[in-house]
């Protein structure tokens, strides 16, 4: 019994240490955002928050159109997330529960596409966006990722295990069509998987830098990551101002993560109780 308690205590110590190590970069960001750049370069480093956050935010807002670029990023991230959740789950439901000619070949091609580095697609993607008149618009950030290879693969695997074939067969007997099967039977069962995918897609869209840097040319339509990158100048970087902007930029991520994670945990727990 004593050995068991020592084992549990050791596990808790290891987990608590891991949490503290993971949390430290966020704490250090707060420290940098609330101090001056001179304090950041000081040795030994200052490890406590300062009182310069408001000053740093004022200088940030004077340097870039922070809230305008954040609004662009919010529009792109939310629209992309909603479209990915709908289109990818619909495609995954088709792959998981319907047999049609070429299904295995198409799914194999999807996996091969997922394994390719995303950098290989940048040039042809830009050419296509330019030919369609999307270059320079926020639509160029929304349309390409909505048929997400990882999202289809993830949801297909989740639907295969979460939605029994017998349930789909019973719905067909009752006269339910394809979309009704998807919306009324599959969606309630796969909400935890959708919650995870929603977090993944939103964070990826929010933090995307390379593709917006290439395809966006209008300064009034840049995303938040590009706006923050403008704070790095050849004459030096005010790291306290950059960290203040980064601190403000992660607030929507924390809100979205909390919303989706709460639904993910609630639905997963509900499913465990039913079983």
Domain locations in the chain? 64-230
Quick one: pLDDT at residue 173? 86
Tell me how many helices (H) and strands (E) the chain has: 16, 0
Quick one: pLDDT at residue 264? 62
Enumerate residue ranges in the chain where pLDDT < 70.
1-6, 233-236, 263-275
Quick one: pLDDT at residue 5? 65
Quick one: pLDDT at residue 235? 55
Quick one: pLDDT at residue 272? 45
d(CA 134, CA 215): 9
- 3.90.1640.10, 1.10.3720.10, 3.40.50.300, 3.60.21.10: CATH of 64-230: 1.10.3720.10
Quick one: pLDDT at residue 273? 42
Q: Is the dihedral of CA 90, 96, 98, 100 positive or negative?
A: positive
Q: What global pTM score does this model have?
A: 0.85
Listed residue (118, 117, 107) closest to 155, CA to CA:
107
């Amino acid at each position: 019994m004593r050995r068991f308690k020592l084992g549990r205590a050791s596990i808790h110590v290891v987990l608590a240490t891991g949490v503290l190590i993971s949390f430290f970069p966020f704490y250090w960001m707060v420290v940098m955002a609330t101090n001056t750049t001179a304090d950041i370069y000081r040795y030994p480093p200052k490890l406590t928050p300062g009182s310069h956050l408001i000053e740093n935010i004022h200088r940030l807002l004077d340097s870039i159109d922070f809230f305008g670029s954040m609004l662009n990023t919010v529009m792109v991230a939310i629209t992309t997330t909603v479209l990915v959740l709908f289109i990818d789950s619909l495609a995954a439901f088709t792959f998981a529960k319907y047999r049609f000619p070429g299904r295995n070949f198409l799914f194999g091609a999807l996996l091969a596409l997922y394994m390719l580095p995303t950098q290989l697609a940048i040039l042809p993607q830009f050419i296509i966006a330019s030919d369609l008149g999307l270059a320079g618009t926020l639509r160029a950030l929304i349309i390409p990722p909505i048929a997400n290879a990882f999202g289809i693969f993830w949801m297909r695997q989740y639907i295969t295990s979460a939605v029994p074939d017998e349930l789909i067969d019973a719905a067909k007997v009752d006269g339910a069509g394809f979309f009704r099967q998807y919306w009324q039977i599959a969606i309630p069962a796969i909400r935890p998987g959708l919650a995870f995918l929603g977090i993944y897609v939103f964070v990826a869209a929010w933090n995307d830098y390379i593709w917006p840097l290439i395809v966006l040319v209008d300064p009034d339509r840049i995303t938040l990551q590009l706006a923050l990158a403008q704070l790095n100048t050849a004459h030096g970087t005010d790291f306290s101002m950059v960290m203040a902007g980064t601190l403000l930029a992660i607030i929507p991520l924390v809100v979205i993560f909390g919303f989706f994670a709460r639904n993910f945990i609630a639905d997963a727990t509900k499913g465990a109780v039913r079983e």
